[in-house]
Structure 1
Amino acid sequence: MRNYKIDILRGISVLLVLFHHFNIPYKLKDTFLGVQVFGENLSTLIARNGNYGVTMFFVISGFLITSHTLKRDGALSKVHLWQFYIRRIARIIPCLVLLVLMVTILGSLGLTPFINQAPNGVEVSYGLTILAAFTFWMNILIIQFGWVNYALGVLWSLSVEEVFYLAFPVLCLVLRSKKLFILFLLAIICYAPYFRSLYYLDENGGYLYHYFSSFDGIAIGCILALAVQKWQCPERIRKPVITIISILMCLLYLYAPIKEVSIWGTGVFALLTAGLIFCLAQENRSKADSGVGNITVWIGKRSYEIYLFHLVILGLIKVFYLPKETTPEQKLILLPLFFIATLLLSWAIEKYYSTPLNHLIRKHLLAKVNGDLQRKG
């Protein structure tokens, strides 16, 4: 059964990312959202750490992938390699292909947000950018050369996730023992803060975008899935624990720019997210009981499409409303339009493209793999 509260977390995560990305070109500090709170603009406090939303995504992804593997195969050591990869391909690749196609077409029309730039003074070919997108090292490209392509920049996090998941079933089969698997994940979690320290205050974001700067969030999610199998949070203390963790997450989110606390902040935020999911995963209700909750669930279910395509919408807005020339009044109109247009585009892509292709790919490729297994058996 799908846990709607996990979808609420996804929804919150992607909304934080969207607000963060909107505020980068269209600073909202000159609007009513720029009211001073704790010596800082409210808009800045909310927007500056939107990357914590991606941290939440990583923990959720690790949790769900491991949980689904355990339910489907019974044990991590019994994971079916090709079935695992087919499911990942069916979910990831259709939207990735569509995004690249859209950006390529818009770039060919001469629209600046969709054309490769040289932020560090080094020209990077569009072909190399596409190669990085499909071979999951866009994050490394960004670290080395900067944000060479605005609309494709979101693929840095997909690069982190997919490299981890390429290794995930192999590690399950090679290590076989659950204890060894957990020890391996703990090693990643312990190594990540040190790795982030190597890139501390790095202008190109190595403290955030590199594989080992982000793997600990996914690893924490994987361990969480194993923990949920074994332990439960007593119902009488569940709500107080959720409240305390939520407050701590808000305090950390508002405390300081993620860049300044990246060494420990990302890991702590991932651990708090895991604590929250640990409690939420044990809730029995099947759906939200409020309008806001249902809307957030709806957003969470389409979070992948929203995340992947929101910079296409924002890029198009930037074409018609140059950030430096946009008035505060226009920004306040563009903000809800950006959210609405992103949600509508993502809904259409999910309903008429990604979900049908996901089912089609799984139906044909999984049937072929299962048929081969039966013949060998």
Structure 2
Amino acid sequence: MKNLQEKYIAGLDGLRAVAVLMVIGYHLKLPIFKGGVLGVTIFFVISGFLITRLLLQELQKTNKIDLKNFWIKRIKRIWPALILMVSVTVILSAIFNRLVFTKACRDFISALLGYNNWYQIFNNISYFDNGGAPSPLLHCWSLAIETQFYLIFPLIIIIIAKFKSTKKERHQVLSVITTLLIIISAILMAVLFNPNGDPSRVYYGLDTRCFSLLVGALLAIIVESDIKIGLTKPANDIIGIISLVCVCIIVTKVAGYDAFLYKGGYLLTSILTAFVILSILRKQSMLSKFLSIPVIDWLGKLSYSIYLWHYPIIILISGGQSASLSIMLLEVTLTLVASVLSYYLVETPIRRGILSKTIKMLKDKIQKDQRVIKKGITIASVCLALVVTSTLCVAFVPKENMSDDIVQESSNKVVKKDIKKPETTPSTTNSQDSQYVDLSNGQEIINNLDVFVIGDSIVSGSFAKFQETFPHLKLSSKESRQANLSISILTSALNEEGWNGDSLIFALGTNGPLYDYLPKVRELLPQDKTMFVISLHAPYTQWQDDNNQKIEEFCKNTDNVYLIDWAQYCKGHNDWFEKDQTHPNKLGGTEQFLNCIKESIIKAYQKDKIKLTKKS
């Protein structure tokens, strides 16, 4: 292909800047970046393209690929900054936040050795749902995927080169194999994705994510082949701009856990990114000029450092929760400062060979540049000191587990309990002896309400308070329960167990998106029975706000459905929760949780004058 940039590609660093801004916006929980995880997809496509193009050019020029040299260059590019970030993060978290430190310790080895993605998978660690603040090293999963790609894909190229001697033959075979691998990987993502569960397995896996890197690789094969693409400059510009705009629209409209991404959205974004890169490649293209604006280009050069540092800084300062504008500005500023220091004082000197030059000057009898030696020794000493200190922290600093404070009751409780009702103030109405409850007496409503609660560990942790509050109670709760299971639970209760109570309390949504299960539950529930839905307080999950919005709209627009606004009720009362800021604690939290439920139920029955039969 002609009229393309060869060595340094103006605008590609700018595209990296766009990608890292998407990721930062996502982790800051800015609504406009609800799909900011796609920034990582852009990084994957860029990496796949650059690495494959580099390998193909070397193969064409020297008729071989120097794997040792290739891997050494990758190590110099990835590990110095990574080691620095991991070491500093472990030390700071050990000092300031022992819970975050404990989680960082679990990721310490896997983050450094390039298998963090598989560690997260085999330990069932969610990217989207965390008990309390997540590990500050959780973002290292993407580096692990790239590392694994760098180990495997060059070998594929070398094997093909052994059997196909001409450039044309090599590229033909490689393009076919790469295309097949893209299709297989994308299909695996779609098939393994479970819309009723956490998508982290397919999000982390090399097998389900490598298609993005391979799309970049396929673009490099096409670019390095003699294929002619008859696009005029205006057409090239239009395609590139439209593709980038489409990616930005997806980022603003589609959440990172949305089924669309796993059913083709990630693949679509990868292909659109490839079109953007193709547009940038053309000399003097509009995108190339725009993304080469000095400040954008500079941020792009820092993008790897920014990606490394932004996440631990956000976790250590705000815990990954939505924060005020001033806190976000502080996090962004510290990220930029740390990235600049890392890039200019550690990454760039090491990439340019400062350590090897220092060793050679100290070892050989040649003219010694004291400035180079001093700089090299300083960098090596600081990095070594940080690594040793962080390793000692991991080995000896006491850990603190949040799970010790969260009591999980046994699952699937079914309770039918009658207790002596407390005395109530006699009613002055003539309906005292009727079959219906006097609605002016709130406690009498609670005492006579036959209620069925479907919940997760939030309900399990408050089990004793539910028993104490509701004399006529049926309760089903289980840790990590997803909303989809409410359908089978309610169906079984109605058809097999013969439940015919007054109200259903729906207390799910902490462990995953609600999707469209609320209307399905209401449809199953007989029309004469009231339904109450509890809003969420789960600030470390990605779906809290979306679920609460769905709950609010559903309660507002559906007959005989009422909101129990726990999210609003507990606002400003962090002392009601365990350290995960999700489970009400035993020091008043569970009591306030039940108070919120009681008050909401009483208000609904009194406001709408809902008839409630007295229970014997």
| Within-5 A mapping of 1:239-250 | 239-250=237-248
Q: Distance in 2 between matches of 1:164 and 1:292?
A: 28
- State how far apart, in whole Å, the 1-side matches of 2:199 and 2:247 are: 26
Q: Secondary structure at the match of 2:102?
A: coil
In structure 1, the residue matched to 2:213 is 218
What amino acid is aligned across from residue 257 of structure 1 in structure 2?
A
1:321-340, CA deviations, whole angstroms, 9 ceiling, x for partnerless residues?
Answer: x948x6xxxx1112222222
Give the equivalent residue in structure 2 for 1:268: 268
Cα distance, 1:80 vs structure 2 = 0.9
Kindly provide the CA deviation profile for residues 93-124 of structure 1, in whole angstroms up to 9, marking residues without a partner as x: 1112112211221232251463234xxxxxxx
Counterpart residue identity of residue 17, structure 2: G
Q: Match for 1:81 among 64, 67, 70?
A: 67
How far off its partner does 1:78 sit?
A: 1.8
> Of residues 4, 10, 14 in structure 2, which corresponds to 1:4?
10
| Residues 267 and 291 (structure 1), Cα distance of their counterparts in 2 relative to 1, 3 Å cut | closer
Equivalent residue in structure 1 for 2:335, among 329, 334, 342: 342
1: CA distance, partners of 2:181 / 2:284: 32
1:152 to 131, 137, 142: 137
Q: Please show how residues 257-296 of structure 1 align to structure 2 within 5 Å.
A: 257-259=255-257, 260-261=259-260, 262-284=262-284, 293-296=293-296
Q: How far did 1:291 drift?
A: 10
* 2:177 corresponds to: 184
Given candidates 36, 42, 50, the residue that maps to 1:50 is: 36
Given that 1:90 and 1:358 are in contact with CA atoms closer than 8 Å, whether structure 2 keeps it comes out as yes
CA distance in 2 between partners of 1:189 and 1:287 (Å): 27
Contact kept in structure 2, 1:129 and 1:138, CA below 8 Å: yes
Instruction: Letter of the 1:135 partner, please give it.
Output: L
More helix by share: 1
User: d(CA) in 2 for partners of 1:173 and 1:136?
Assistant: 22
- Give the secondary-structure state (helix, strand or coil) at the position aligned to 1:151: coil
| Aligned counterpart in structure 1 of residue 48 of structure 2, from 35, 40, 62 | 62
Alpha-carbon separation, structure 1, partners of 2:142 and 2:160 = 26
Matched position secondary structure for 1:150:
coil
Residue by residue, what CA displacement relative to the aligned partner does 1:262-317 show, whole Å, maximum 9, x if unpaired?
Answer: 12000010000001111111124799767993211111111111101112221332
> Structure 1: which amino acid aligns with 2:317?
I
Deviation per residue, 1:10-34 (Å, 9 max, x gap)? 00000010010011xxxxxxxxxxx
Residue of structure 2 equivalent to 1:114: 100
> Residues 281-320 of structure 1 correspond to what in structure 2 (within 5 A)?
281-284=281-284, 293-318=293-318
Paired residue secondary structure (1:154): helix
1:134 aligns to what?
112
Q: Measure how far apart 1:60 and its partner are.
A: 0.3
Secondary structure (helix, strand or coil) at the match of 1:145 reads coil
Equivalent residue in structure 2 for 1:227, among 222, 230, 233: 222
- In structure 1, what is the Cα distance between the partners aligned to 2:310 and 2:268? 27
Of 190, 193, 199, the match for 2:193 = 199
1:124-145 superposed Cα distances (whole Å, 9 cap, x missing partner): x93x532212332211222333
Equivalent AA in structure 1 for residue 181 of structure 2: I
Question: 1: distance between equivalents of 2:266 and 2:68?
Answer: 32
Instruction: Provide the rounded CA distance (Å) in 2 between the counterparts of 1:110 and 1:251.
Output: 38
Q: Would the alpha carbon gap of residues 250 and 129 (structure 1) be closer, same or farther in structure 2, given more than 3 Å must change?
A: closer
Larger radius of gyration: 2
Q: Is the 8 A contact 1:90 1:362 kept in 2?
A: no
Kindly indicate whether the alpha-carbon contact (under 8 Å) linking 2:240 and 2:278 is maintained by their aligned counterparts in 1. no
1:93 and 2:73 correspond = no
State the shift of 1:180 in Å: 2.6
2:22 aligned with 1:16, yes or no?
yes
Contact 1:63 1:223 in 2 (8 A): yes
C-alpha change, 1:193 and 1:200, in structure 2 (3 Å) is farther
Contact 2:291 2:297 in 1 (8 A): no
Q: Structure 1-normalised TM-score?
A: 0.79
Check whether the contact 1:70–1:76 (CA below 8 A) recurs between aligned residues: no
Contact 1:63-1:218 at 8 Å conserved across structures: yes
Deviating beyond 4 angstroms after TM superposition, the runs of 4 or more aligned structure 1 residues are 285-292, 361-365
Separation (CA, whole Å) in 1 of partners of 2:317 and 2:101? 15
Q: CA deviation at 1:62?
A: 0.7
Looking at structure 2, the residues matched to 163 and 291 of structure 1 have their Cα atoms a distance apart, in angstroms, of 29
Q: 1:291 to 1:77 in 2, by over 3 A?
A: closer
8 Å CA contact 1:188–1:219 kept in 2: the answer is yes
In 2, Cα distance between equivalents of 1:59 and 1:189: 12
Q: Output the CA distance in 2 between the equivalents of 1:352 and 1:191.
A: 42
Pair 1:348–1:286, CA change in 2 (3 A): farther
Question: Unaligned 5+ residue runs, structure 1?
Answer: 24-42, 118-124, 368-377
The answer on whether the counterparts of 1:188 and 1:216 sit within 8 Å (CA) in structure 2 is yes
Q: Closer, same or farther in 2 for the Cα pair 1:255/1:288, shift >3 Å?
A: closer
Structure 1 range deviating more: 101-110 or 344-353? 101-110
Shift of 1:204: 5.2
Distance 1:155 1:292 in 2: 28
- In the alignment of these two chains, the number of paired residues is 331
Q: Would you say 1:168 and 2:153 are equivalent positions?
A: yes
Q: d(CA) in 1 for partners of 2:70 and 2:88?
A: 28
Q: Deviations over 1:194-216 (max 9, x none)?
A: 21121333415122211122100
Q: CA deviation at 1:7?
A: 1.0
Q: CA RMSD in A?
A: 2.9
Task: Tell me the percent identity.
Answer: 25
Partner amino acid, structure 2, of 1:16? M
Letter in 2 for 1:151: P
Deviation, structure 1 residue 164: 0.6
Larger relative contact order (C-alpha < 8 A, sep ≥ 6)?
1
Distance in 2 separating the partners of 1:263 and 1:77? 40
